[in-house]
Amino acid sequence: MSEKVNTGNPLEQFVLLAKNAKGAAAVELVKQVLEAPGVFVFGELLDSPNIQDLDNTPNAPYFRLLNLFAYGTYKKFIENKTDYPELSAAMQKKLRLLTVVSLATETKLIPYTRLQEELDLENVRDLEDLVIEGASAGVVLGKLDQKNSHFEVDFFIGRDLRKVDVGNIVNVLGSWTDTCDSILLNIENQVDRLNKEKQKQKDHKFGLEAKINEVKAQIKNQPGGDCEDPDSRMETERSDRRDKKSTKGKGLRGSSKGSFWQSK
């Protein structure tokens, strides 16, 4: 008995079912995936041969609808309703959430007026309820600022990418890499310049110390030269003065004593 393995990819089960689904079965599969909770990317299913075959049949509107959920927005659906089948309530909610994700890729602060226009919602309460539901599903996270009437985006999931967009992304990443390399090179040059300046100051300090020692040696080697420290010399002079004073005092006391005995 085989055990069902949960891969953590909610789309995978639909991709597996698409291998044997044709015609009406493929249409039903498209309906299911567009209503399924937790499924917000559809690229793998679009690549399925049986799903792509719908494009050349009377069921082509469902193939276009799947493409709309992968790459489009709710506003595009409103503007081209005749190109698509009617949406169920679950489909409407999911497409609106995907539209919020697309708007989040353009700006971090989305005004309520922009959201209402893109989502075709006149009631602010309905808009906020939709965003809260999207946060609960982990689709888009942020703060609803009622005072300033905007939605501040903190996080959003990624949407499907068209193959034609891959080249643009590669170019953007290449440009970003070049910018990073330029910044890194600039930092390395600055570090190298600072290290050279530091070494220059260090060499200058050593040079000054060498000159000072050289001058001291020259003074010491001169005839009668004295390299004695000024503080030591002052201490010596004070000591000499004390010795002279002491000697003078002793001489006076000796003279007085001699006079006394002579008077006797």
Distance between CA atoms of residues 215 and 223, nearest Å: 15
Q: Are strands 109-111 and 150-156 parallel, antiparallel or unpaired?
A: antiparallel
pTM reported for the whole predicted model: 0.64
Per-position pLDDT tens, the chain of length 264: 333 444 468 899 999 999 999 999 999 999 999 999 999 999 999 999 999 999 989 999 999 999 999 999 999 999 999 999 999 999 999 999 999 999 999 999 999 999 999 999 999 999 999 999 999 999 999 999 999 999 999 999 999 988 766 666 667 677 788 888 889 988 998 998 899 889 989 888 888 888 888 888 888 887 765 555 555 556 666 666 666 666 655 554 544 444 444 444
C-beta separation of 31 from 18 below 8 A? no
* Domain 91-160 class in CATH: mainly alpha
Return all residues near 50 (Cβ < 8 A) that are at least 6 apart. Answer: 18, 19, 20, 21, 22, 26
- Residue 136: which of 104, 103, 93, 88 has the closest Cα? 93
Distance between CA atoms of residues 168 and 170, nearest Å: 5
- Residue 102: which of 69, 130, 150, 63 has the closest Cα? 69
